[in-house]
């Protein structure tokens, strides 16, 4: 036995050594390329401003590209090289642009009658492609067509692949290899020797690893059904559904990198990834840089998608479920339409303002102030006489201007014009001449005189103020006014709740926003419109400003990440929109996201069984509206890579209650560790949860997540304060998309009772662990003698 183990070890060492040699060659080549890039930059710097403008531009572009390349090479990705496939000869013998054979199917005579074959081609797969000096592929980019068999090949449909190898490396050192045989029936030869096979496969090795607070890419172990989604053509809409842990988020992010690789020019319009929470953004945002992509992709939480949320770093607070339900509903669109127009009229201020000559006095501050009570009379002097418009005339004019659906702030010029018309009609100027030319001249000077006088300007500012979305939202905190705008749309109870939830905002709408407020603000932004203002000077494109090395350096000071942030901030529409956890978008959020992808192609990933929105049909209708009539391509992911079977089995009980008849995905592995059930011990809930978290911290190497009902969040953070950074307390809605080595789910009944979608939220909570799960029951859970709460019993 010992001799056999030693043989296996020496084979492993030999194969690891072979890959080390290859990696050394790759790094030698990378060093050559770095030297080349550095030379190019030095040379360009020396040459300064000589040559024709065209040649200079070309040289500058080359320097810029070399600089970026250099940066990437210097980054020395962990696992720079991660895969290898050994292939049979191809059918047609043609080679693609990366130097690899293009055919997927083996040549007819590739396998001899005695089931032996020769390996005709070996490809190494890595994060970026590297060619040797003869343009032969040393490393193939994982997104290149030649790399597809690495992911697609299965023992059922192996194509040309005989052996797939995952190479584990760190920096320049190969740590080990894991092989999967795609044609186990075959004896294959490479360089005269039999092709050896090492280990039990890479997927299991990857899944067993401890989790940290950031997601890892899965580039070395993407599975065939996932690869089909990642490489699906970008046209129209790609919809991906799949249960918890099937890799939807991972696939969505890898797809973004793939699309950029495929058609960088097209996606220079930007890719937007919409995520449900800032926690999930923080968890996932490292994946794209690890795949060599960051510049063009913006990952945004739905609560910070709108510029209207700027200044509060996006919204992170949640409304109570009944309020969230109102704010998310498409009925709000009708309320907002009325509010955007109705908010023009300000109720009279509590403290009486001084009125003088038909105008409200605003004191002598110069800065524009929010309106304080709408004036009901306009009085100006023209042709030496006073002209007045009374309340009912003003009302008629307002009504006239507001007919139609144009954005309110853009109607101000029209309001101004109708006011001047009405004043002119009352003036003595109107009947002064009969000659149309003279009338026109007089009218034009009347307009100019009146409309530049302070009384008119001050009146217009107060009577037709330029409203901000936040001011309108704040106006909706007045229950009486909101009641008018929401008549026959919301019932009185809903009006009261909604108004009360907005009392947090001051008159200008400053104050803490909830996640659902953001979609309302974004809608208001559209309803109000932004009057045209002179544009700020455009920042120059790096290629515009480069003239050599000296200019390249300051440019480097803006990191790729900052550049992405800046570009995203300037962008309002994207070339491709990816929606993660799409089942959670409310109808109003779909409208907000839809506006950012009116001309985009889309990838939408989600799982109806995890929806925390109470009315999935209404959300589906809003989603259809956002996507329009674009054709859809649908995929389903079927394997749960996160939860061991023992945990998946328990979660399936809740799924059966939440969505009867819905199938849960098959867990890919089992650990033999069953979920634990605890009831509150003597020290109370805090002590019980703390003890359990402490125990789990000792059991696993990575992270522990404690999931509680939303209104216990702050309390739970206090319970765990002393346990260090590996443990995190989360509200049930915050757990979306995240995962931990071990989780403690506190009181399933509390989570399930939180909202109409509570059972689905509980299903999410129960599917977060990669290794161990403990359920702690309180009284409401009616635990049996084994501590199993009623919701989780058979
Ligand atoms: N092919 C794979 N190789 C290695 N790990 C994988 C693979 N596919 C998925 N995983 C891992 O499984 C876990 C779950 O993936 P992910 O979070 O993308 O799933 P999800 O479908 O978005 O889950 P949920 O719906 O619960 O949010 C992650 O840790 C991911 O890295």
pLDDT tens string 700-726: 999 999 999 999 999 999 999 999 999
- For residue 685, the CA-to-ligand 1 centroid distance in Å is 32
Greater confidence (103 vs 556) lies with 103
Q: What pLDDT shows up at residue 137?
A: 87
The DSSP bridge partners found for residue 90 are 106
Q: Counting runs of H as helices and runs of E as strands, what totals does the chain give? A: 28, 26
Task: Say what percent of the chain tops pLDDT 70.
Answer: 84
Query: Which has more pLDDT, 315 or 183?
Result: 183
The binding-site residues of ligand 1, defined as CB within 6 angstroms of any ligand atom, are 203, 206-207, 216, 218, 221-223, 226, 242, 244-250, 607, 610, 641-642, 737, 739, 767
Whether 35 and 80 map to the same domain: the answer is yes
Q: Are residues 435 and 398 in the same domain?
A: yes
- Report how far residue 396's alpha carbon sits from residue 401's, in angstroms, rounded to the nearest whole number: 9
One domain for residues 193 and 133: yes
Residue 196 CA, distance from chain mean position: 43
Residue 216 has pLDDT above 70, yes or no: yes
Phi and psi of 364, rounded to 5°?
-115, 20
Q: Is 246 annotated as a binding residue?
A: yes
Boundary-marking domain end, from 416, 433, 463:
463
Beta strands 355-356 and 359-360, pairing class: antiparallel
SS3 457: helix
Specify the pLDDT at position 508: 86
Cα–Cα distances in Å, from 456 out to 213, 370, 390? 59, 17, 14
Asked whether residue 294 is domain-assigned, the answer is no
What is the signed CA dihedral for 284, 736, 654, 614, rounded to 10 degrees?
Answer: -140
Q: Whose CA is nearest to atom 13 of ligand 1?
A: 642
Q: Are residues 13 and 122 in the same domain?
A: yes
Question: Band of the pLDDT at 540, cuts 50, 70, 90?
Answer: very low
Q: Tell whether 134 and 25 lie within a shared domain.
A: yes
Cβ neighbours of 672 (radius 10 Å): 7
Nearest Cα residue to 260 out of 600, 632, 576, 605: 576
CATH of the domain at 750: 3.40.50.300
The confidence band for 54, taking pLDDT boundaries of 50, 70 and 90, is: low
Quick check: 68 pLDDT over 80?
Answer: no
Which residue's C-alpha comes closest to atom 16 of ligand 1? 247
User: Are residues 493 and 449 part of one domain?
Assistant: no
Q: H or E stretch including 39? A: helix 2-47
Ligand 1: residue whose CA is nearest its atom 1? 222
**Ligand 1 centre distance from Cα of residue 499 (Å):** 41
Give the other-Cβ count within 10 Å of 118's Cβ.
16
Find residue 238's DSSP bridge partners. 603, 633
For residue 28, the CA-to-ligand 1 centroid distance in Å is 35
- Name which residue sits closest to atom 8 of ligand 1, judged by CA: 247
Which of 221, 581, 642, 738 to mutate for ligand 1's pocket (most ligand atoms within 8 Å of CB)? 642
State the Cα torsion 163-224-579-772 to the nearest 10°: -80
Rounded Cα–Cα distance for residues 748 and 756 (Å): 14
137 and 90 inside one domain: yes
Question: What DSSP line would sit under 235-272, residue for residue?
Answer: SSEEEEEE-TTSSHHHHHHHHHHHHHHH-TTGGGG-EE
Q: Which residues of 730-740 are buried (b: 16+ CB within 10 A; e: fewer)?
A: bbbbbbbbbbb
Range of the domain at 787: 645-792
The C-alpha atoms of residue 328 and residue 460 are separated, in whole angstroms, by: 34
Residue of the CA atom closest to atom 30 of ligand 1: 247
Show Cβ contacts of residue 289 under 8 Å, excluding neighbours closer than 6 positions. Answer: 560, 561
**Separation CA 5–CA 765 (nearest Å):** 43
Q: Which of 685, 674, 662, 691 is nearest to 749 (CA)?
A: 685
Does the annotation flag 154 for ligand binding?
no
Give pLDDT tens digits for 85-103.
Answer: 999 988 877 777 766 777 8
Determine contact, residues 223/639, Cβ cutoff 8 Å.
yes
Q: Look at residues 169, 190, 209 and tell me which one is the last residue of a structural domain.
A: 209
pLDDT attached to residue 527: 95
Average pLDDT over residues 755-769: 95
In this prediction, residues 522-528 reach a mean pLDDT of 94
Nearest CA to ligand 1 atom 15: 247
594 found inside a domain: no
For residue 546, pLDDT over 50 is answered with no
Q: SS3 string of 341-362?
A: HHCCCCCCCCCCCCEECCEECC
pLDDT band at 373 (very low <50, low <70, confident <90, very high): confident
Q: Is 403 annotated as a binding residue?
A: no
What number does the ligand 1 atom closest to the CA of 250 have? 18
Same domain? For 339 and 434 the reply is: no
ipTM, 2 decimals? 0.99
139, 124 contact by CB (below 8 A): yes
Interatomic CA distance for residues 789 and 781, integer angstroms: 5
Tell whether 351 is covered by a domain.
no
**What does the pLDDT read at residue 33?**
76
> Do the annotations mark residue 243 as ligand-binding?
yes
Same domain assignment for residues 454 and 474: no
pLDDT tens figures, 154-179: 877 889 999 999 898 887 889 888 88
pLDDT over 50 at 551, yes or no: no
- Residue 216 alpha carbon, nearest atom of ligand 1: 31
What is the per-residue pLDDT for 80?
78
Cα–Cα distances (Å) from 503 to 380, 474, 498, in that order, read: 38, 7, 9
Q: Is 594 annotated as a binding residue?
A: no
Residue 137 in any domain: the answer is: yes
- Give the integer Cα–Cα distance in Å for 291 and 101: 24
The residue from 501, 528, 555 where one domain ends is 528
Same domain, 39 and 161: yes
Q: Which of 104, 228, 107 is nearest to 161 (CA)?
A: 104
- The CA 284 to ligand 1 mean position distance, Å, reads 11
Q: Is 247 annotated as a binding residue?
A: yes
Q: How far apart are CA 677 and CA 783, in angstroms?
A: 9
Query: Tokens 């030999």 — which residue?
Result: 14
User: What pLDDT does 358 receive?
Assistant: 34
Q: Give the pLDDT score at 533.
A: 61
* pLDDT beyond 70 at 26: yes
**Cα 563 to Cα 569: distance, rounded to the nearest angstrom:** 10
For 265-333, strand residue ranges (E) read: 271-275, 297-301
pLDDT at residue 362 above 50?
Answer: no
Nearest to 781 by CA among 794, 793, 763, 769: 793
Is 688 labelled a binding residue? no
Which run of H or of E encompasses 168?
Answer: strand 161-170
Determine the pLDDT at residue 41: 66
Smallest Cα–Cα separation from 315: which of 505, 134, 483? 505
Q: Taking 60 as the threshold, does the pLDDT of residue 570 lie above it?
A: no
CB 207 within 8 A of CB 188: no
Which residues share a beta bridge with 381? Answer: 386
Q: Which residue has the higher pLDDT, 36 or 543?
A: 36
* Residue 364 domain flag: no
Task: Tell me how far the alpha carbon of residue 724 lies from the centroid of ligand 1, in angstroms.
Answer: 26
Picking from 136-150, 307-321, 365-379, 529-543, which range would have the lowest pLDDT averaged per residue?
Answer: 529-543
Q: Per-residue pLDDT tens for 661-687?
A: 999 999 988 899 999 999 997 779 999
Residue 295 lies in a domain: no
pLDDT band at 476 (very low <50, low <70, confident <90, very high): very high
**Residue of 247, 254, 280 best suited for mutating to test ligand 1, as the one with most atoms within 8 Å of CB:** 247
Structure token pair of residue 737? 């998309």
Q: Does residue 256 lie within any of the structural domains?
A: no
Q: Read off the pTM.
A: 0.81
CA–CA distance, 668 with 638 (Å, rounded to integer): 10
Q: Report helix, strand or coil for 601.
A: strand
Whether residue 77 is predicted with pLDDT greater than 60 in this model: the reply is no
CA 245, CA 243: separation in Å to the nearest integer? 6
**pLDDT mean across residues, the chain:** 84
Q: Is the pLDDT of residue 539 over 60?
A: no
Residue having the nearest C-alpha atom to atom 27 of ligand 1: 737
pLDDT of 272-305, one tens digit each?
A: 999 999 889 999 988 887 776 767 888 999 998 8
Are 783 and 652 members of one domain?
A: yes
Is 248 marked as binding a ligand?
A: yes
Structural domain total, the chain: 4
Q: Which two three-digit tokens encode residue 340?
A: 């955007």
- Tokens linked to 252: 């969505």
HSE (side-chain half, CA atoms, 13 Å) at 196? 16
Quote the ligand 1 centre to 264 CA distance (angstroms): 26
Distance of CA 775 from the midpoint of ligand 1 (Å)? 22
What distance in angstroms lies between residue 639's CA and the mean position of ligand 1's atoms?
Answer: 9
Higher-pLDDT residue of 210 and 784 is: 784
pLDDT score, position 202: 65
Mean pLDDT, residues 513-532: 91
| Averaged pLDDT, 750-755 | 94
CA distances from 50 to 36, 44, 53, 56 (A): 21, 10, 9, 7
Choice among 7-11, 66-70, 385-389, 448-452 with the minimum mean pLDDT = 66-70
Q: For residue 141, give the 3-state DSSP assignment.
A: strand
In percent, how much of the chain has pLDDT > 90?
A: 50
Q: Could you tell me if residue 58 is inside a domain?
A: yes
Same domain, 156 and 65: yes
Q: Distance of CA 444 to CAs 291, 413, 439, 448, 511, Å?
A: 64, 16, 8, 6, 45
CA distance 320 to 326: 10
- DSSP 3-state assignment of 282? helix
pLDDT at position 545: 38
For 645-712, give the secondary structure using H, E and C: HHHHHHHHHHHHHHCCCCCCCEECCCCCCCCEEEECCCCHHHHHHHHHHHHHHHHCCCCEEEEECHHH
């Amino acid at each position: 036995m010992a001799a056999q183990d030693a043989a296996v070890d020496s084979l492993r060492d030999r194969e690891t050594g072979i890959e080390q040699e290859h990696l050394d060659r790759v790094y030698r080549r990378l060093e050559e390329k770095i030297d080349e890039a550095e030379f190019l930059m030095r040379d360009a710097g020396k040459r300064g401003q000589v040559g024709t403008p065209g040649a200079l531009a070309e040289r500058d572009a080359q320097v810029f590209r070399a600089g970026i390349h250099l940066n990437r090479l210097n980054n020395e990705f962990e696992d720079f090289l991660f895969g290898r496939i050994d292939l049979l000869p191809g059918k047609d013998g043609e080679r693609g642009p990366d130097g690899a054979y293009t055919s997927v199917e083996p040549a007819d005579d590739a396998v001899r009658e005695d089931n032996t074959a020769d390996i005709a081609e070996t490809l190494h797969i890595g994060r970026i492609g590297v060619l040797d000096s003869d343009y032969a592929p040393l490393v193939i980019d994982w997104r290149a067509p030649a790399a597809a068999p690495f992911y697609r090949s299965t023992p059922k449909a192996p194509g040309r692949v005989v052996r797939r190898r995952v190479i584990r490396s760190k920096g320049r050192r190969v740590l080990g290899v894991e092989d999967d045989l795609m044609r186990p029936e075959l004896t294959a030869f490479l360089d005269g020797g039999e092709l050896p096979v090492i280990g039990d496969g890479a997927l299991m090795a990857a899944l067993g690893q401890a989790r940290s607070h950031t997601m890892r890419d899965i580039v070395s172990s993407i599975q065939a059904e996932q690869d089909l989604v990642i490489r699906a053509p970008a046209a129209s809409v790609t919809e991906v559904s799949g249960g918890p842990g099937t890799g939807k988020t991972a696939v969505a992010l890898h797809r973004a990198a793939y699309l950029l690789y495929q058609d960088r020019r097209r996606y220079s319009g930007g890719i937007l990834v919409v995520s449900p929470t800032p926690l999930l953004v923080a968890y996932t945002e490292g994946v794209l840089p690890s795949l060599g992509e960051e510049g063009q992709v913006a990952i945004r939480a739905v609560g910070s998608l709108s510029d209207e949320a700027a200044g509060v770093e996006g919204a992170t607070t949640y409304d109570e479920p009944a309020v969230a339900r109102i704010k998310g509903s498409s009925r709000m669109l009708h309320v907002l339409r009325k509010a955007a127009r109705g908010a023009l009229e300000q109720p009279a201020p509590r403290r009486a303002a001084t009125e003088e000559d038909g105008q409200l006095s605003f004191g002598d501050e110069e800065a524009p102030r929010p309106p304080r009570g709408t004036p009901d009379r306009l009085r100006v002097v023209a042709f030496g006489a006073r002209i007045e418009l009374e309340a009912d005339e003003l009302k008629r004019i307002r009504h006239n201007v507001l007919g139609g659906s144009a954005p309110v702030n853009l109607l101000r010029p029209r309001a101004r014009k109708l006011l001047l018309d009405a004043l002119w009609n009352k003036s003595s100027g109107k009947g002064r001449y009969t000659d149309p030319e003279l009338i026109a001249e007089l009218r034009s000077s009347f307009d100019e005189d009146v409309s530049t006088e302070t009384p008119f300007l001050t009146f217009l500012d107060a009577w037709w103020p330029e409203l901000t979305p936040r001011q309108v939202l704040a106006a909706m905190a007045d229950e009486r006014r909101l009641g008018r705008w929401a008549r026959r749309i919301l019932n009185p109870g809903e009006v009261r709740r909604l108004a009360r939830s907005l009392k947090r905002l001051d008159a200008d709408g400053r104050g803490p926003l909830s996640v659902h407020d953001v979609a309302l603000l974004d809608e208001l932004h559209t309803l109000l419109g932004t009057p045209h203002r002179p544009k700020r000077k455009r920042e120059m494109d790096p290629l515009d400003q480069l003239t050599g090395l000296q200019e390249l350096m300051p440019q480097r000071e803006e990191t790729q990440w900052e550049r992405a942030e800046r570009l995203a901030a300037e962008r309002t529409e994207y070339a491709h929109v990816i929606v993660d956890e799409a089942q959670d978008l409310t109808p109003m959020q779909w409208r907000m996201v839809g506006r950012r992808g009116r001309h985009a192609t889309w990838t939408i990933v989600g799982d109806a069984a995890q929806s925390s929105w109470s009315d999935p049909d209404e959300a589906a209708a809003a989603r259809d509206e956002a996507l329009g009539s674009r054709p859809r391509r649908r995929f389903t992911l079927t394997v749960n890579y996160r939860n061991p079977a023992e945990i998946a089995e328990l979660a399936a009980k809740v799924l059966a209650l939440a969505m009867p008849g819905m199938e849960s995905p098959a867990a890919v592995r089992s650990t033999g560790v069953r979920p634990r059930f605890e009831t509150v011990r003597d020290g109370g809930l805090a002590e019980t949860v703390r003890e359990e978290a402490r125990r789990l911290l000792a059991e696993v190497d990575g992270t522990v997540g404690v999931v509680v009902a939303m209104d216990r969040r702050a309390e739970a953070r206090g319970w765990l304060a002393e346990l260090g950074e590996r443990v995190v307390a989360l509200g049930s809605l915050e757990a979306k998309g995240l995962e931990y080595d071990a989780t403690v789910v506190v009181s399933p009944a509390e989570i399930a009772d939180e909202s109409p979608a509570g059972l689905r939220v509980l299903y999410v909570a129960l599917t977060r662990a990669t290794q161990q799960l403990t359920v702690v029951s309180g009284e409401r859970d009616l635990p049996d003698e084994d501590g199993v709460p009623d919701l989780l019993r058979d």
